[in-house]
Amino acid sequence: MSFLKIAGLSALAVVAGLSAAGATTLQDVKDQGYIRAATANEVPYSFMKDDGTSSGIGPDVANAVLKKMGISDVTWTVTPFGTLIPGLKAKRFDFVAAEQNISPERCKQVAFTEPNSSYGEGLLVKKGNPKKLTTYADIAKDPSLKVAVVSGANNIDFLRAVGVKDDQVIFITANADALATVQSRADAYAATELTVASLAKGQANVEQVKPFTDPVVNGKPVRNFGGFAFRPEDKDLYDAFNVALVEFRKTDDYKKILMSYGLSEESIKAAADRKVADLCAGK
């Protein structure tokens, strides 16, 4: 009799272990009462305020979408940009709300939602733009120039595509390090237009390059399309969020959120007009 009890308990333990190791569903999240999300602390895409609350394009939209799904409690994790996907795969959080650009390489690792935002590229330089930079290709023309990039960000792909060599690149952990880097050991910092604009705002020693020409890769000007990332195996949770996101994108509340962070109506429309399947296919 005792043997049967032990065997029964062992069987239950195995089943419980399999369940814990399996996919996370929407019902799982509702049962536990909260969902875990990640931000890279990059203004204005996703960041945490001094009071500990989430903010930015990704978190604001995510919070609104989750409420429509019946989830009001979100536990946020702040992690360096380059650790977002590894952390998601390691199940440190349930999804990423950092407006990562949807690229074919990233699509091999995570499941992206339909685009939530669209934005171009930019350069942060010393005040007065002493090197007279107007695009990424200008950096490639002078091998002595150095450009900073956040480790894990896809801006490095665009720089390489226009001829910038790896020995010209200085990798930094987060965009918060960009100001000091540009003022000390780099001629420029390459990031998205909104990141650069946010960093340059109110600064006396650096500025955003204006006018700036987006790099041309494979015959097309580069435009980023940010989305939310989930683990591929969490299909039920992903599907529920994606459907709710697509519906929320049709509302005025959605447009107000994005426009409050500086995105234009044209950029909002550009995001809505693209499909995640095409972006993952490199189209």
Lowest mean per-residue pLDDT among 3-12, 71-80, 256-265: 3-12
**What is the predicted pLDDT for the residue at 7?**
34
**What is the predicted pLDDT for the residue at 266?**
82
- Mark out the alpha helices in 75-221 (DSSP H runs): 84-89, 104-107, 136-141, 155-161, 178-184, 193-200
Q: Is the pLDDT of residue 245 over 70?
A: yes
- 171-198 burial, b at 16+ Cβ within 10 Å, e below that, comes to ebebbeebbebbeeebbbbbbbbbbbbb
> Can you give the residue ranges of every domain in the chain?
22-118+224-280, 121-221
Distance, CA of 190 to CA of 122 (rounded, Å): 6
Residue whose pair of structure tokens reads 């665009």 in the numeric block:
158
Provide mean pLDDT across the span 217-228: 90
Superfamily of domain 22-118+224-280: Periplasmic binding protein-like II (3.40.190.10)
Q: Is the pLDDT of residue 272 over 70?
A: yes
Q: Is the pLDDT of residue 64 over 50?
A: yes
Same fold, 22-118+224-280 and 121-221: yes
Measured over the CA atoms of residue 56, residue 62, residue 65 and residue 67, the dihedral's sign is negative
Provide mean pLDDT across the span 56-64: 97
* pLDDT, tens digit, 9 for 90 and up, residues 140-173: 999 999 999 999 888 999 999 999 999 999 999 9
**What is the predicted pLDDT for the residue at 6?**
32
Provide mean pLDDT across the span 12-16: 36
The answer, as to whether pTM is greater than 0.85, is: no
Nearest CA among 181, 183, 144 for reference residue 164: 144
**What is the predicted pLDDT for the residue at 21?**
53
**What is the predicted pLDDT for the residue at 222?**
85
Cβ distance 211 to 217 under 8 Å?
Answer: no
Nearest CA among 225, 130, 170 for reference residue 138: 130
Residue 44 is classified by DSSP as T
**What is the predicted pLDDT for the residue at 128?**
97
Distance, CA of 26 to CA of 234 (rounded, Å): 9
Q: Is the pLDDT of residue 226 over 60?
A: yes
Q: Is the pLDDT of residue 225 over 80?
A: yes
Q: Is the pLDDT of residue 254 over 90?
A: yes
Compute the CA torsion angle 173, 152, 273, 66 (nearest 10 deg).
-70
Distance, CA of 197 to CA of 255 (rounded, Å): 20
**What is the predicted pLDDT for the residue at 2?**
31
Q: Is the pLDDT of residue 52 over 90?
A: no
Q: Locate 75 and state its tokens.
A: 């536990």
Residue range 121-221 forms a domain whose CATH class is: alpha beta
Q: Is the pLDDT of residue 124 over 50?
A: yes
Predicted confidence band of residue 14 (pLDDT cuts 50, 70, 90): very low
Q: Which pairs with CB-CB distance under 8 Å and at least 24 residues apart come from 157-160?
A: 157/103, 157/217, 158/121, 158/190, 158/215, 158/217, 158/222, 159/190, 159/215
List, in order, residues 6 or more apart from 199 with CB less than 8 Å away: 43, 124, 175, 178, 179, 189, 191, 206, 208
Distance, CA of 236 to CA of 124 (rounded, Å): 41
Provide mean pLDDT across the span 245-269: 92
Lowest mean per-residue pLDDT among 184-193, 210-219, 248-257: 210-219
User: Which CA distances in Å does 93 have to 49, 51, 81, 138?
Assistant: 20, 21, 14, 39
